[in-house]
Homo-oligomer: A and B are copies of this chain.
């Protein structure tokens, strides 16, 4: 049984016969319980859980509940604060800098996005750079909060260095994703959510599990040579920026990842480049860190700060329909609108459950036992 949408934009994990399906509400209740057990308030536990599981619903399995144990370990290592005092430390009518007080990014990011939305309601747009945070799940979840308010939403984050800029042997950038979510009228929103690398790290993990090789252009080995070995990062290799090599525009992917790093961290006072703290709690922290925690950047632009919302939505529908109805290359599927595969996945998983790999289920059961929380039955 495989339910990967054929040729979807993201390499959504196929469901295999070993997976167990869990109803979203049960997995949500479980995740809330875990976050409460590690010291989060009821409200924060709920906020974090909804943000985290949005990845599972949208098919980005690498960033969902499979990472719950990673967040718990960050708290156990004293790297994530379950009771943060999140604050605005600088602001103007359309900007703010938020200090996350080392909180979970899953809690800090929704706060910061809300600030951006409230700024936009008054000033037309709102832009918030965040310091002293941790990993925030998927960018798409945060950007979509703005769409509910008839705003364009933008979310980006830096992350620990896995990517070698063009010509570099060293890893200096994270996969630094950008999401831009745009409301439409009768059509669903346009949601472009992309790592600024040729392939996200989650794709390598899938190849590792399947024992398959990566296409050339995704990774380089420890000597900077092109490689197809998806395990290369464990021995000093690196992911490559979008484009893959110089001839195919890797300097552009490098520049995009750099922009995310600068907006998220140099603007806010977080760590940047090779100094961004790692997600796995067992990886030592970088030395000589120039800032606080990891950084994010959020934007919200009110549509009617530019033109009447109805006009915009009418043209956005027209844009979407024209692209979706484009003549495809013979033998190919039809042209997709960014966000289509994730939205379809979400509808299916809400209806039929979220599939989890046996290894993930085992991890979560161990976590449940350790913290004295009931693990849900499959459903």
* B170, B180, B246, B326: the one within 8 Å of A7 (CB): B246
A327: which B residues are within 8 A, CB to CB?
Answer: 168-170
Question: CB of A62 within 8 A of chain B?
Answer: no
Cβ-defined contact, A329 with B180, below 8 A:
no
Question: CB of A110 within 8 A of chain B?
Answer: no
A355: which B residues are within 8 A, CB to CB?
Answer: none
Cβ-defined contact, A266 with B335, below 8 A:
no
Cβ-defined contact, A198 with B249, below 8 A:
yes
Once the chains are docked, how many angstroms separate the CA of A250 from the CA of B335? 12
A312: which B residues are within 8 A, CB to CB?
Answer: 266-267
Once the chains are docked, how many angstroms separate the CA of A39 from the CA of B169? 54
- In the complex formed, the residue of B with least CB distance to A217 is B248
A274: which B residues are within 8 A, CB to CB?
Answer: 322
A243: which B residues are within 8 A, CB to CB?
Answer: 198, 242-243, 248-249
Cβ-defined contact, B302 with A92, below 8 A:
yes
* B125, B247, B291: the one within 8 Å of A125 (CB): B125
A272: which B residues are within 8 A, CB to CB?
Answer: 315, 319
A194: which B residues are within 8 A, CB to CB?
Answer: 249, 251-252, 255-256
Cβ-defined contact, A328 with B267, below 8 A:
no
Cβ-defined contact, A329 with B94, below 8 A:
no
Interface size band for A: 35 or more
Once the chains are docked, how many angstroms separate the CA of A244 from the CA of B198? 10
Cβ-defined contact, B323 with A273, below 8 A:
yes
In the assembled complex, the CB of A12 is this many whole angstroms from the nearest CB of chain B, namely 13
Cβ-defined contact, B267 with A192, below 8 A:
no
A172: which B residues are within 8 A, CB to CB?
Answer: 322-323, 326
Cβ-defined contact, A168 with B329, below 8 A:
yes
Question: CB of A28 within 8 A of chain B?
Answer: no
Cβ-defined contact, A305 with B95, below 8 A:
yes
Question: CB of A22 within 8 A of chain B?
Answer: no
A267: which B residues are within 8 A, CB to CB?
Answer: 303, 306-307, 312
Cβ-defined contact, A180 with B242, below 8 A:
no
* B198, B306, B316, B328: the one within 8 Å of A129 (CB): B306
* B251, B311, B322: the one within 8 Å of A336 (CB): B251
Given contacts A169-B328, A224-B329, A266-B315, contact A301 B127 (CB under 8 A): yes
Once the chains are docked, how many angstroms separate the CA of A199 from the CA of B95? 35
- In the complex formed, the residue of B with least CB distance to A10 is B251
Per-residue contact bits, chain A 218-259, to B (CB 8 Å; 1 contact, 0 not): 101001100000000000000000111011110111111011
In the assembled complex, the CB of A291 is this many whole angstroms from the nearest CB of chain B, namely 7
Cβ-defined contact, A323 with B165, below 8 A:
yes
Once the chains are docked, how many angstroms separate the CA of A316 from the CA of B272? 10
A244: which B residues are within 8 A, CB to CB?
Answer: 244, 248
A127: which B residues are within 8 A, CB to CB?
Answer: 124-125, 301
Cβ-defined contact, B255 with A329, below 8 A:
no
* B94, B182, B255, B330: the one within 8 Å of A305 (CB): B94
A334: which B residues are within 8 A, CB to CB?
Answer: 167
Question: CB of A358 within 8 A of chain B?
Answer: no
* B192, B215, B223: the one within 8 Å of A247 (CB): B215
A303: which B residues are within 8 A, CB to CB?
Answer: 267
State which residues 118-156 of A face B: CB under 8 Å: 122-125, 127, 129
Cβ-defined contact, B306 with A258, below 8 A:
no
Could you jot down 7 A-B contacts, CB within 8 Å?
A: A92-B305, A94-B125, A95-B302, A97-B306, A215-B247, A242-B243, A273-B322
